[in-house]
Amino acid sequence: MTLLHPTTPLYPTEKVLSRDEVLRRFGRPRQGTVVFTNGVFDILHRGHVEYLCAARARGDALVVALNTDDSVRRLGKGADRPINREEDRAMVLAGLACVDAVTFFGEDTPRSLIAALLPDVLVKGGDYTVETIAGADEVRAAGGRVEVIPLVPGRSTTAILERARGRGGEDV
């Protein structure tokens, strides 16, 4: 299987895949380097875009695992979160050229998906350390690497929501 981007851009719905389809298309054995990340990506902003582009630059394909709405609620991000439903969040992410596939996970962490996929590179944002990244041990044991990408200062969903609610928040 070739992981190169097709010459014609894919419609976002073509990049939103079931877990089984992600494993079939991007699992081992494979050609190229698969990068994996995960998150809520509730209100997509510049920090997310820069992060996802930096993640994709570390390999030939970027797979993004998206928290389901139920798992977001369990994270304790607030009674009104997620703002956008999982299907909408997936379509927005899949619309980015740097994202090759989007799938969902409903568990508290994506560890089981990571263990099944065994990406070549596992990345998370700068609010994590390598030691706190779910699936890091599995990826390293399989010969992959784990990286932390610095956050873009002043760019966060929390700051956007605080500003929208008239409570200040960082300059977004």
Residue with the bigger pLDDT between 171 and 94: it is 94
Helices (H), ranges, the chain: 19-26, 46-56, 69-74, 86-94, 111-117, 136-141, 157-164
- pLDDT one-digit tens code per residue, 92-113: 999 999 999 999 999 999 999 9
Q: What is the pLDDT of residue 164?
A: 77
What domains lie within the chain, and their CATH numbers? 12-147 (3.40.50.620)
Q: What is the pLDDT of residue 23?
A: 98
Between CA 36 and CA 65 the distance in angstroms is 8
What pTM does this model have? 0.89
What sign for the dihedral angle of Cα 32, 115, 148, 164?
Answer: positive
Q: How confident is the model at residue 163 (pLDDT cuts 50, 70, 90)?
A: confident
- pLDDT one-digit tens code per residue, 32-79: 999 999 999 998 999 999 999 999 999 999 999 999 999 999 988 778
* Amino acid identity, position 28: R
CA angle, 119 then 132 then 17, to 5°: 35
Two tokens, residue 109: 């962490």
- pLDDT one-digit tens code per residue, 124-153: 998 899 999 999 999 999 999 999 999 887
